[in-house]
């Protein structure tokens, strides 16, 4: 294992962004070169991350590909990176979706192309750094750094309400992360270090665990988002250009779930048990509320945005079941949802870019004009619903298995995402794809081009792979989850005896 591999995956996009930024020549030549440099950089980074996946040994406990160097040693802060079975697959998700976002933006982004590709590669560096950080200060730096390219891509290249959407996204996330900063400072004051593996074994007092967990829930609940911290989501996802929406919903929202898992459920297990009923309730509310709101939408992209919010509720439920099955299901759902939601946003973009409208009422009989899109779209719609044979089914089924240990009603209501999802997704698909071939905008539609297929076909293959052979992914993170959850569960089993004795 070469620790430098992880550094290459983290900082090669930064090198690519710098190369694009320093380009000189005519504006047309710079635009073309920017696209190609961004594409080849992101493909090389993805290839290196696959090498890390191939060399990773899930049976070895702890973190692998570790690099550590002094940063502010006198303050207990170091540059410390590495991956375990949980974070590795999120690094892989980030590097998989970035080249798809580059290809997807080839025709969709036509102004200030160089700046856009620089922002896209910077976002990739911050995401990989965030998932591989093993020092809390380093994690916080990368977490905050995602805001800069993220909000710029919404605010500069977004739709008519882009500035408002960008401000909401920035202020909500930045405001939430201040609570994480307070928790970080409190932990550093008590332990003298910000090293995550050390903090995982620090025995914080139960009352302090609750305050720290509350800080992290407020910080990551905005990014996830948890109900009712979701006000920024519909506008940000709708106004952002589609490649940006794909990365926001596909990866950046997973940073919130990853943080809740790493710094909530696993670091503060006692407090997590106290908070679980409340978070499970908020997760169930998100599932049902977002599904009902999705059904009322007339804008295709906004409907998919609310669909994403609904599925993040399922992930919150899985994490706070505090069972290995529930957490496995939440992680699997994060990965499959990242791929499926990206594909759905690009399917919407394929139609709306040609027709110059996203209104559902403007379309009818699109399948007659775009049969390839209709076929791939049907796969992603079914995957989003949770059809057996797709990745989402495995994730939702495992979440329900974990939830049934907690409460039948939690499992039932969280599982209603499948039924409610079927309602709004099939209504959308029927209204847009079927019916008599529409006149006007539909008459001018042409089927998918090569670059669009280059985005959607890999998503389709991964979705089917995750559904048909889930072990490829489960074997990577399941040992880490079982090891992390088993110790707190053993303590929990002893707790009732202790309380009874008192």
pLDDT at 229: 81
CA 35 to CA 37: how far, in whole Å? 6
| Residue pLDDT, tens place only, 3-43 | 788 889 999 999 999 998 888 878 888 888 888 999 999 99
Least confident of 184-188, 204-208, 302-306: 204-208
Query: Across 338-497, where does the E strand assignment appear?
Result: none
pTM of the shown model: 0.90
For range 395-409, the mean pLDDT: 88
Arithmetic mean of pLDDT over the chain: 86
pLDDT at 110: 78
Torsion (CA) 260, 214, 216, 90 in degrees, nearest 10: 0
Q: Give 74's contacts (C-beta < 8 A, 6+ positions apart).
A: none
pLDDT at 431: 84
CA 440 to CA 438: how far, in whole Å? 7
| Residue pLDDT, tens place only, 66-92 | 888 888 777 878 888 889 888 999 999
CA 98 to chain centroid, in Å, comes to 12
Quick check: 1 pLDDT over 70?
no
Q: What residues does 79 pair with on adjacent strands?
A: 69
- What are the residue boundaries of the structural domains of the chain, listed by start? 268-485
| Residue pLDDT, tens place only, 436-482 | 776 666 767 787 788 889 999 999 999 999 999 988 888 888 888 88
pLDDT at 62: 81
Residues found in the chain: 502
């Amino acid at each position: 294992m070469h620790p430098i591999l992880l550094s290459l995956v983290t900082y090669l996009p930064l090198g690519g962004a710098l190369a694009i930024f320093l380009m000189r020549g005519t504006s047309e030549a710079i635009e073309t070169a920017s696209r190609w440099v961004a594409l080849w950089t992101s493909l090389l980074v993805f290839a290196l991350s696959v090498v890390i996946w191939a060399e990773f040994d899930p049976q070895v406990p702890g973190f692998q590909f570790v690099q550590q160097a002094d940063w502010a040693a006198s303050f207990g802060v170091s540059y410390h990176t590495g991956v375990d079975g949980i974070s590795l697959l999120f690094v892989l998700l980030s590097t998989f979706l970035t080249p798809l976002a580059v290809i997807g933006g080839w025709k969709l982004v036509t102004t200030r192309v160089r700046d856009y590709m620089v922002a896209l590669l910077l976002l990739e560096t911050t995401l990989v750094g965030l998932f591989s950080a093993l020092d809390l200060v380093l994690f916080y730096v990368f977490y905050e750094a995602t805001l800069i390219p993220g909000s710029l891509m919404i605010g500069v290249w977004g739709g008519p309400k882009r500035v408002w959407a960008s401000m909401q996204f920035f202020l909500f996330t930045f405001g939430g992360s201040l609570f994480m900063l307070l928790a970080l400072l409190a932990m550093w004051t008590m332990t003298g270090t910000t090293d995550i593996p050390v903090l995982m074994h620090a025995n914080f007092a139960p009352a302090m665990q609750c305050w720290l967990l509350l800080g992290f829930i407020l910080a990551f609940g905005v990014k996830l988002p948890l109900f009712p911290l979701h006000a920024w989501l519909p506008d940000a996802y709708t106004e952002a250009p589609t490649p940006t929406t794909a990365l926001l919903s596909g990866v950046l929202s997973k940073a919130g779930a990853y943080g809740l898992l790493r710094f909530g459920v696993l670091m503060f297990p006692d407090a997590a048990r106290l908070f679980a009923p409340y978070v499970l309730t908020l997760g169930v509310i998100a599932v049902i509320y977002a599904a009902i709101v999705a059904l009322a939408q007339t804008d295709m992209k906004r409907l998919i945005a609310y669909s994403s919010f609904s599925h993040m509720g399922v992930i919150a439920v899985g994490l706070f079941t505090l069972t290995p099955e529930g957490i496995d299901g939440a992680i699997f759902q994060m990965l499959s949802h990242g791929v499926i939601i990206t594909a759905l946003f690009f399917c919407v973009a394929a139609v709306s870019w040609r027709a110059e409208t996203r209104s559902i009422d403007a379309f009818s009989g699109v399948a007659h004009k775009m049969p390839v899109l209709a076929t791939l779209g049907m796969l992603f719609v079914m995957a989003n619903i949770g059809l057996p044979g797709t990745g989402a089914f495995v994730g939702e089924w495992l979440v329900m298995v974990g939830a049934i240990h907690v409460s039948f009603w939690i499992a039932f209501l969280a599982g209603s995402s499948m039924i409610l999802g079927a309602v709004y997704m099939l209504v959308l698909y029927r209204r847009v794809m079927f019916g008599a071939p529409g006149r006007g905008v539909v008459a001018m539609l042409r089927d998918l081009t090569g670059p669009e297929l280059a985005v959607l076909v890999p998503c389709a293959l991964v979705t089917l792979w995750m559904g048909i052979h889930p072990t490829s992914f489960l074997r990577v993170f399941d040992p880490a989850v079982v090891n992390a959850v088993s110790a707190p569960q053993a303590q929990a089993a002893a707790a009732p005896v202790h309380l009874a004795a008192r």
